Copies of this chain bind each other. A is one copy, B any other.
Amino acid sequence: MLTRSFNPPVRTLMGPGPSDVHPRILEALSRPTIGHLDPAFITMMDELKELLQYAFQTRNIMTMPVSAPGSAGMESCFVNLVEPGDKVIVCQNGVFGGRMKENVERSGGFAVMVEDTWGEAINIDKLEDALKDNPDTKIVAMVHAETSTGAQSDVSSLVKLARAHGCLTIVDAVTSLGGTPLKVDEWEIDAIYSGSQKCLSCTPGLSPVSFSERALEKVRNRQTKVQSWFMDLNLVMGYWGTGAKRAYHHTAPINALYALHEALVILQEEGLENAWARHQKNHLALRAGLEAMGLTFIVKEDDRLPQLNAVTIPAGVDDVAVRNRLLNEYNLEIGAGLGALAGKVWRIGLMGHASRAENILLCIGALESVLGDLGADINRGVALPAMQRALAE
């Protein structure tokens, strides 16, 4: 029996990503494929680099998308910058810090973990203590926006401290890029990676990265080859770099890059500051609705990410049953808890194109209906007015 074409259901994506993809981006994906060495494609690549520099707020020449998902962007930073024997401090306050540790160790480095409670921002005093205790540290790694908890950390101050101790920094900006203030040059970040499928509203599969001149200097002067051929920046630079001639490295994911280009054109049209403000405004509206209903955030107010709202699942409520009903009855996807928070929280994303009034309305209304129907102890009839008041402010 022949397998038929796959026609996906139409969902509203308000989980931790992928987020709703803008129709212009889906259309861009389906434009005619051209060769990866076509002059027209090279022009597009140059534009894409400039657009990414804008999104990251950097002039770093090595700013480009890795041809694979965010996990590969993370690995690209670690395998290039960590040399065997290097000591790396990893600030962990959620799932992705743990993944960083794996990356340090698999790159031959030694990880010193600085642990914070999940749901809290990274504590700068703990980092300072660790730096004093480990003066031979080469690199400090941290997550700007923890997708697993919805907490954001003060990367600007943390990087400043790390630099004062002579360390390079690696920053995970998977969920922050395009959704919340991030300034690579002003904050003097050395290596940063993100994902296409969060606040850029693009399809998943690409990982924008950027490397400072200090970082590239370390890569160029490595004593050993980068262990990954695919991710070796010395090779990737020949294709994405600014040299007159592009050297073939791997076949770029042409159509995916069209989509990212379009996503960044949309971001540029809106303006980065406007996008940040929109995420914040819509977060406040969602928060007003959720709190009026009686739900509580796990992250304290100052540290909350506007684009990822982690709320405690009310006592006695069946996590999976609620998410299944939202999906089946309203085609609405919200996120489950991850790692230590599995079964304890929902993660509601308001990322990029998903950060819209109509999505908040749908989410609040559907949650109230389903929770009410399941007999959960929530306040009814007050969430929508609260949300609308917040939107009108």
Contact = CB atoms under 8 A, between A and B. Distances in A.
A234 to B, nearest CB: 12
Most B CB within 10 A of own CB, among A253, A265, A268, A269: A253
Contact of A251 (B17, B75, B338): B17
Most B CB within 10 A of own CB, among A24, A32, A35, A230: A230
A47 B36 CA distance: 29
A50 B3 contact: yes
Contacts of A241: none
Contact residues of A: prevailing secondary structure: loop
Q: How many copies does the complex hold?
A: 2
Contact of A68 (B4, B24, B67, B258): B67
A269 B5 CA distance: 11
B256 A203 contact: yes
Contact of A254 (B28, B103, B203, B250): B203
A205 B256 contact: yes
Range of interface residues on chain A? 35 or more
20 contacts: A3-B265, A6-B47, A7-B31, A8-B32, A8-B41, A8-B258, A17-B251, A18-B251, A38-B327, A67-B205, A69-B230, A69-B253, A75-B228, A103-B229, A106-B228, A107-B227, A205-B252, A205-B256, A227-B227, A255-B259
Interface of A: 2-11, 13, 15, 17-18, 20-21, 24, 26-36, 38-41, 44, 47, 50-51, 67-72, 75, 79, 99, 102-103, 105-107, 195, 197, 203-205, 225-230, 248-256, 258-259, 261-262, 264-265, 268-269, 327, 333, 338
Given A29-B29, A69-B251, 4 more contacts: A11-B32, A68-B230, A106-B226, A106-B228
